[in-house]
Structures are given as C-alpha cells and as structure tokens.
Amino acid sequence: MSSARPPRRIAVLISGTGSNMLALLEGCARGEITGEIVRVLSDQPQAAGLAKAAACGVPVQALPFESGESRHEHDLRLRSAIEDSGAELVVLAGYMRILDEQFVNHFATRMLNIHPSLLPRHKGLHTHRRVLEAGDATHGASVHYVTPELDGGPCVLQGYLAVRPDDDAESLRLAVHRIEHVIYPRVVGWAAAGRLQLVEGLPTFDGVPLQQPIREEFSRA
C-alpha cells in the first residue's frame, strides 16, 4: 500500500459477536469513515457477526481452521482472501486467533486492532477481571497497529474511564465496549482519510509522530 493513497477499502476480521464490526459499518454509513468495508472474514463460520454483516449486505467469508493445516498455511489462505477482496486496510475486531508473523509482517503498517485495556497494561485475555484484581483506578480500550508482538504494537488512541468501587467484570466489559464503539470508527476514519499512517514504527497523525497515544476520557452513563 502506498502512503500516498489512503486505504479506503477495508477488510474486517472477526471471531464473535461483531459489535465493533457493526460500529465500523455505522461509521461508514454516517461518513466518519470515508471508506468501504469490502469483506468481513471469520475463522468461525458460526460467528454471529458474520450473519449480521451479511444482513447489512457486506460480503462475508468464513475461513475455518482445517484439520492438519498449520497456522502458516491457514494464514496464507487468509492473506489470499484479503487480497482477493481488494482490501487495503485490515481491521481486527475481536479476531481471536493469533496471527502468524509472516502474515503480520505482510500487512505491517496497514493492520489495526482494538484491545479492551489500556495497553501496555493487561495484554491478552480476561482484561476486565485483571483490572479489578490489580485494583486499577482506570480502565479502557486501545486502538493500535499490529506487530508480531501480541497486543504490543504502537497505540494510536486510548479511551479511558474511572473504575468504580461497585464495578464487576461485566459492568466494565459493557462500559469498555461503549468506548470501543466510539474510538475504533474514529481511528479507522483517520486512516481511511489519510490522516493516520505508521511511519518508521510510529503512528503519525496529521504529520505529527505520536510518541504517546492520544488519550480521551469517557464518562459513565
């Protein structure tokens, strides 16, 4: 992908309910994302998000892991499917498989992920429970470029909120999901408009390298 031409054709990878994928579709519909979701792909044929995308008229494709297939072989098939769709930007939205390093390197600079924590805190799973166990005062979500290090790529935008004494993992999950549905369309919109790029390993927004992610506080309903 040339940095001269913004990536307007978007592939979204999901494994589950797809609420972020729907938020991205809504972002396209209201013009916050001046791009088009050209395909939604899932490793889970039964993923609820696939049916939701299809109901919205978006081309969908299930690519389940086949028995005897290595991760590398599977990710080569996934890469072919993405390239076949014409996508220029790959957006991971609850895609639960760890991606092969060659796949990640192939799409380096044009692959984004959203993670339900304030990275680098709480990489991996069960972030809401771990925030409570750690007694964190704040929690939130991070949109970051994808690198071979799991949940380790440079962050663009973080939305955060105060953890309340009466929070449990479910209340945090719901609150963080609301943040995700705001910040992900925003960042993808920046990328599709050519305002955001990854330059020499640093997210660069309106020409300014981000040494730290942009942070936005959210209030609780």
Q: Which residues are catalytic?
A: 115
Mask: binding to ligand GRF, 66-95, rule CB under 6 A, as x and -? Answer: ---------------------------xx-
Nearest-approach distance from CB 63 to ligand GRF, in angstroms: 17
Nearer to ligand GRF, 6 or 146 (CB): 146
Q: Which residue has the tokens 């549905």?
A: 181
Question: Phi/psi of residue 60, each to 5°?
Answer: -125, 155
Window 139 to 198, contacts with ligand GRF (CB under 6 A): 141, 180
Q: Does 7 bind ligand GRF (CB under 6 A)?
A: no
Q: Does 19 bind ligand GRF (CB under 6 A)?
A: yes
Contact between 151 and 113 (Cβ < 8 Å): yes
Return the structure tokens found at 75: 């990710």
Size of the site for ligand GRF (CB under 6 A): 14
Nearest-approach distance from CB 50 to ligand GRF, in angstroms: 11
DSSP codes joined into one string, 154-186: PEEEEEEEEPPTT--HHHHHHHHHHHHHHHHHH
Helix (H) or strand (E) holding 214: strand 214-217
Contact between 176 and 114 (Cβ < 8 Å): no
Which residues contact ligand GRF by CB under 6 A? 14, 16-20, 49, 93-94, 114-116, 141, 180
